[in-house]
Amino acid sequence: MRGHWSLDDRLERILREVPFEVPPGTAAVTVRLAYDRSQGVIDLGCGAPGGFRGWSGGARDEYTIAPDWATPGYLPGEPEAGTWHVWLRLHRIPPQGLDYSLEITTSAVAPAEPVAEEPPHGERPPRRDVPSVDGLRWFAGDFHAHTLHSDGGLTIAELAELAHGRGLDFLAVTDHNTVSHHPRLGEIDRGITLIPGQEVTTDRGHANVFGEVGWVDFRQPADSWAEHAERAGGLISINHPLGGDCAWLLPITRRPRVAEVWSSGWWDRRWGAPLAWADAWRDDVIAIGGSDFHRDGSDGLPGAPTTWVLAEDTSTVLDGVRAGRTAVSTGPDGPLLLRMGDELLALDADGLVLVRPDGTRQVVRGERALLRAIDGRHRLETYENEVIALCE
């Protein structure tokens, strides 16, 4: 099948569904997409009679779905007979248009699953000496990372090993528009809790949904994402709201309280726009951080920034976030500001400046200092107004 997409096609309807038939007795479905990647980007996905079967965006040109395995990003399972659809999202179409071809193959015999090598087990750095609060502990983690199940460069095991070696206690695995990684998370034993997540991704904004809530349909309005998360007991967060070509531009009736205020894209933290956005979004925003890690050298490493959550254990981290018990630092070992009841604990912050919500400022003296707290978000800055840590 060959065709041509124009810029007018994209503006008319960005997501196209190309139907094809799967006959009874099919053991595998393979789809191959070809186009000139130097000229544009076409995202790739799949829908079956029973619903969603996978998404890889612009990361892949080919996928296979079989009873016992599928290409990362896609859901394994018996290919049911009936009308399926190749999903094509016209992400970037140039003015002259873009030629493409689709090759769709059904087979009565499933191909063998590719074998992935397991990374060796490494050591975790010693945990920081952070006091507990009323029987709860502070856990270090990251709420935004990707694997081969979308456009990341690592397997789940490789990502978990990297995050564990960075000293993290938990990591949310948030691949784009898919949940194919969720069943695999519990199989990974790397000394770190992996939180199921999905980055609901569109041209006008991204949001992470955390928890075992099922697939969230990115084709629907943003209000439905939040409703889906709440109904299923999950949690939704607005991602990198000022992030270049992926800033938050979507209308939403009920603004989520949780937001990725600190992302790895906040390179110059003297730039106050992320904090100003959070204050304007709603007056009780719960700030979290996310590295948006894809591969070494392209983004911040896992834990850059690090989100600290006060919780009973790592299985209740999302409950801690809901309660607003969060703090964010540059990394697992960076200067840290934690709320301890009516006080703040500043760790490894000698010479930094505490900025309270009412605008008052105080120089931190010593590597372990207790300071007066008031309601609202506090932060640590350098003398040049660079944000180093914050807490709710």
Q: Which domains does the chain have, with CATH numbers?
A: 2-107 (2.60.120.380), 137-334 (3.20.20.140)
297 pLDDT band, cuts 50/70/90, is confident
pLDDT over 70 for what percent of the chain? 100
Q: Using one digit for the tens of pLDDT, what is the confidence trace for 260-272?
A: 999 999 999 999 9
The reported pLDDT for the residue numbered 77 is: 98
Rg (C-alpha) for the chain, rounded Å, is 22
Between the alpha carbon of residue 155 and those of residues 43, 115, 118, 146, 176, the distances in Å are 21, 12, 9, 9, 15
Q: Give the pLDDT confidence score for residue 89 in this predicted structure.
A: 98
Per-residue model confidence as pLDDT tens digits over 161-191:
999 999 999 999 999 999 999 999 999 999 9
- Among 85-89, 139-143, 212-216, 299-303, where is mean pLDDT lowest? 299-303
Pair type for strands 51-57 and 41-48: antiparallel
Average pLDDT, the chain: 97
Residue 296: pLDDT band by 50, 70, 90 thresholds? confident
The average pLDDT across 220-229 equals 98
CA angle centred on 241, ends 38 and 312, rounded to 5°? 120
Q: In this model, does residue 193 exceed pLDDT 80?
A: yes
Tell me the β-bridge partners of 200.
207
Query: Omega before 332 cis (within 30°)?
Result: no
* Number of Cβ within a 10 Å radius of residue 271: 14
With bands split at pLDDT 50, 70 and 90, how would you rate the model's confidence at 118? confident
pLDDT of residue 117: 86
In this predicted structure, the answer to whether residue 136 has a pLDDT above a threshold of 90 is yes
Mean pLDDT, rounded, for 44-60: 98
Q: Please write the tens of the pLDDT for every residue from 310-356.
A: 999 999 999 999 999 999 999 999 999 999 999 999 999 999 999 99
SS3 call for 240: coil
Q: Please tell me the distance from the alpha carbon of residue 112 to that of residue 100, in angstroms, as a whole number.
A: 28
Q: For residue 54, what pLDDT is reported?
A: 99
| Position 116 confidence tier, pLDDT thresholds 50, 70, 90 | confident
Q: Is the pLDDT of residue 377 over 90?
A: yes
**pLDDT given for residue 239 in this prediction:** 98
252 pLDDT band, cuts 50/70/90, is very high
Q: Is the pLDDT of residue 299 over 80?
A: no
Q: Is the pLDDT of residue 298 over 90?
A: no
Q: Is the pLDDT of residue 100 over 90?
A: yes
Is residue 370's pLDDT more than 80?
yes
Q: C-alpha distances in angstroms, 272 versus 93, 121, 128, 376?
A: 34, 40, 29, 17
